[in-house]
Amino acid sequence: MKKPIALLVVVAATVLSAQALAEEDQAQQQAPVRASEYKPSPDAPEVVIRPGKDATYYEYRVNGELKEIRVKPKVGPVYYLVPADDGGFIRQDGSQLVVPKWILFQW
C-alpha cells in the first residue's frame, strides 16, 4: 500500500516540475532582448571596434578608462598599444589586459 502511494507522489512531482520548466522556457522565448534595450554591466570591459584605412582598431575600456588598443593591420601581425604614463602609447606584441572572471567574495 505504501509503495503505490510513494510512486504516485514521485510521478506527480515529476510532472509538476516538468510543467514548471516548460512554462519558464516559454517565458524566456517570448521575451527576446532587443539590442537597443541591452545594457552591459558597468564593470564589464567595453570594446569599441573602429575600422581604418589600413587596419582595424579594437579599443578596450574598463570603467570608461582606455586600457589598450588592439591593432589588426590588413598586412602583418596583430599588435597592441598600451597607454603610457606620459600620455603616449607603448607598442607590445601581446595583450596585458587581465579581466577577473571569478568573484570570490561579494557584499
Domain count, the chain: 2
Q: How far apart are CA 9 and CA 55, in angstroms?
A: 65
Say if residue 50 is in the same domain as residue 32.
Answer: no
Task: Pick the range with the lowest mean pLDDT from 30-34, 83-87, 91-95.
Answer: 30-34
Check if the beta carbon of residue 49 is closer than 8 Å to that of residue 71: no
Say if residue 58 is in the same domain as residue 76.
Answer: yes
Which of the two residues, 97 and 24, has the higher pLDDT score? 97
Which of the two residues, 80 and 16, has the higher pLDDT score? 80
Whether 98 is covered by a domain: the verdict is no
Say if residue 61 is in the same domain as residue 86.
Answer: yes
For residue 83, pLDDT beyond 70: yes
Task: Show the 3-state SS of 20-63.
Answer: HHHHHHHHHHHCCCCHHHCCCCCCCCEEEEEECCCEEEEEEEEC
**Kind of pairing, strands 65-73 and 79-83?**
antiparallel
Say if residue 61 is in the same domain as residue 83.
Answer: yes
Say if residue 55 is in the same domain as residue 29.
Answer: no
Say if residue 16 is in the same domain as residue 53.
Answer: no
Containing domain of residue 27, as a range?
Answer: 2-36
Whether 105 is covered by a domain: the verdict is no
